[in-house]
């Protein structure tokens, strides 16, 4: 069941013929081929860029506390600020 046999491909072709019609299949194949080619070209263009040309997005992050006690203190302070704003 893992591999496609000739019978499987024949069934797929018959379904495509019924669904799209014989006149649309060459156009559909051409469009699909162009889309795959453009996608591969885009991937290669990104891979071939120099590191300084790649778009880098910086997402600011909070400073990570070095100790668990510092983390607990930060959480307590943030909770108190939120409770103060909600009152």
pLDDT at 37: 94
pLDDT at 36: 92
Render the burial of 39-66: b for 16+ CB within 10 Å, e for the rest. Answer: eeeeeeeeeeeeeeeeeeeeeeeeeeee
Stretches where the chain sits below pLDDT 50 are: none
Token digits of residue 12: 């797929």
pLDDT at 54: 56
pTM summary value: 0.41
What's the CA gap between 9 and 16, in Å, rounded?
Answer: 10
pLDDT at 64: 58
pLDDT at 73: 73
pLDDT at 35: 93
């Amino acid at each position: 069941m893992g591999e496609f046999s000739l019978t499987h491909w024949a069934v797929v072709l018959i379904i495509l013929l019924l669904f799209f019609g014989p006149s649309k299949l060459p156009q559909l194949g051409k469009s699909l081929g162009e889309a795959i080619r453009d996608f591969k070209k885009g991937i290669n263009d990104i891979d071939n860029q120099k590191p300084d040309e790649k778009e880098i997005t910086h997402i600011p992050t909070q400073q990570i506390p070095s100790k668990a006690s510092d983390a607990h203190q930060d959480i307590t302070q943030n909770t108190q600020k939120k409770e103060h704003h909600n009152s």
